[in-house]
């Protein structure tokens, strides 16, 4: 099992528990919130909508 698999699973579980996109972005160390939204948008259809609101 790779570290990337564990990281992806961790982020997916956070979204399943309704954690905010900004919180997950900070925990993963992504510089841009859009990276987090693009990578994990399959977890929640609301994710991409949330990223556009948080960028304003």
Give me the residue spans of the domains in the chain: 3-54
- From 38, 40, 37, select the one nearest 13 (Cα to Cα): 40
pLDDT at 54: 52
- DSSP assignment of 1-56 equals --HHHHHHHHHHHHHHTT--HHHHHHHHT-SSHHHHHHHHTTT-THHHHHHHHHT-
- pTM beyond 0.75: no
Q: Would you state the pLDDT for residue 56?
A: 46
pLDDT(24) > 90: yes
């Amino acid at each position: 099992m790779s570290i990337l698999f564990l990281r992806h699973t961790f982020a997916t579980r956070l979204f399943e528990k309704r954690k905010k996109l900004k919180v997950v972005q900070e925990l993963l160390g992504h510089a841009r919130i859009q990276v987090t939204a693009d990578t994990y948008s399959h977890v929640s259809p609301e994710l991409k909508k949330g990223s556009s609101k948080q960028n304003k």
